[in-house]
Amino acid sequence: MTKKLRAKITALGTYVPPRVVTNHDLEKMVATNHDWIVERTGIHERHWVEPGVPSSELGAQAAIAALKQRGIEASDIELIIVSTVTPDMMFPSTACVIQHKIRANKAWGFDILAACSSFLYAVTTGAQFIENGTHKKVLVIGSDVMTSILNPEDRTTLVLFGDGAGAVLLEPAEDGEDLGLIDYHHEIDGGGGENLYMPGGGSLHPPSHETVNQKMHYVHQNGQAVFKFAVRKMEELSTGMLAKHNLTGDDLACFISHQANMRIIDATANKLGMPPEKVIKNIHKYGNTTAATIPLAMNDAINDGKLKKGDLVLFAAVGAGFTAGSVLMRWAY
């Protein structure tokens, strides 16, 4: 019997635009204040692009950094999967734009739209192509320019989001090597759709003067409904994944979740019995970067010496859709 191939992450690149926007900067734009934002979300600052910089640009920078770290050429990549809710345009896909930008001339690719869960969805989708033996180098990119869909007059969403990107390279684990993706569990609950969405610009409400006047091209969120779902699902999927593998929080080197709200991360970490030093948090400096939060947090975990080769790490995310997912992995480099 042939042994199942396992997909492992062999490189990571990240990129955030240089412009830092503090809570005090936002106080000049909307009726908000630093203390409210910190107390309710944990966010102190975020990075925003200069107007006109698209998701493909951030994603390409992250991709180039990942390729450089691995010491391979863009032409070695066979498949590019981009997770984003802010594609450069409706079509072609941002994967096509990035493929051309980085000159990955032998790669095919596509986009995945699962909002804040999309990076985990994309990693597990990419892993299928490694595990079935058809591909050896898959680039998974999470990139979002959330500022392109934020209402500059809506304090309830403007303060929450930042722009950023991350990219990981997936390759097959060596024979007998106990590294890489161990398991995943993903769910959607489409009934939660209208709690977090951008209603305009698609086939239901094609762009028109009316959709723009009604601000339908911006993020709309029922924060409390999303918060309640996120706390419940994040806990359920995280504890469920550990129980399935007879693990506890003690077995994990670290817990990396989507960064939407400090209180959601803390509630889940408490449920897992994780000590604070094992819980990766960077929401204070990036805000919610949607598809980029998890690779940005991977990068911080590595830089802080909390994620090393052989470490067991649990990832979890909840996002618009509702979408949700958890991934268990043994870190590979």
Residue 151 interacts with ligand UT7 (CB under 6 A): yes or no: no
Half-sphere exposure of 27 (CA within 13 A, CB side): 11
227 near ligand UT7 (CB under 6 A): yes
Q: Tell whether residue 32 is a contact of ligand UT7 (CB under 6 A).
A: yes
CA atoms within 13 A on the CB side of 60: 17
Which among 47, 135, 185, 258 is annotated as catalytic? 258
Q: Is the CB of residue 99 less than 8 Å from the CB of residue 81?
A: no
Residue that is written with structure tokens 């975020």 in the block: 46
- Which is catalytic among the residues 47, 96, 116, 135? 116
For ligand UT7, the closer CB: 185 or 233: 233
Q: What angle do CA 22, 26, 30 make, to 5 degrees?
A: 165
DSSP-based three-state secondary structure for 319:
strand
116 noted as active-site residue: yes
Stretch that binds ligand UT7, among 35-43, 58-66, 207-215, 235-243 (CB under 6 A): 35-43
159 forms part of the interface with ligand UT7 (CB under 6 A) = yes
Measured from the CB atom, the residue of 125 and 323 that comes closer to ligand UT7 is 323
Residue 258 falls in the annotated catalytic set: yes
Nearer to ligand UT7, 322 or 331 (CB): 322
155 lines the binding site for ligand UT7 (CB under 6 A): yes
What is the Cα–Cα distance from 246 to 238, expressed in whole angstroms? 12
34-64: buried (b, 16+ CB within 10 Å) or exposed (e) per residue?
beebeeebbbbbbbbbeeebbbbbbbbbbbb
Asked if 199 touches ligand UT7 (CB under 6 A), the answer is no
Q: Which pair of structure tokens corresponds to residue 206? A: 């094609």
Residue 286 contacts ligand UT7 per CB under 6 A: no
Residue 208: how many other CB atoms lie within 10 Å: 12
Shortest separation between residue 259's beta carbon and ligand UT7, angstroms: 8
How many residues bind ligand UT7, per CB under 6 A? 19
156 binds ligand UT7 (CB under 6 A): yes
State yes or no: residue 234 binds ligand UT7 (CB under 6 A).
Answer: no
Dmax (CA) of the chain:
65
Half-sphere exposure at residue 15, Cβ-oriented, CA atoms within 13 angstroms? 24
> Which of residues 87, 287, 319, 325 is near ligand UT7 by CB under 6 A?
319
Q: Which stretch binds ligand UT7 (CB under 6 A): 1-9, 57-65, 155-163, 249-257?
A: 155-163
Give least dist CB 41 to ligand UT7, A. 5
In angstroms, the first-to-last Cα distance of the chain is 28
List residues with catalytic annotation. 116, 258, 288
User: What are the residues binding ligand UT7 (CB under 6 A)?
Assistant: 32, 36-37, 40-41, 116, 155-156, 159, 223-224, 226-227, 230, 260-261, 264, 288, 319
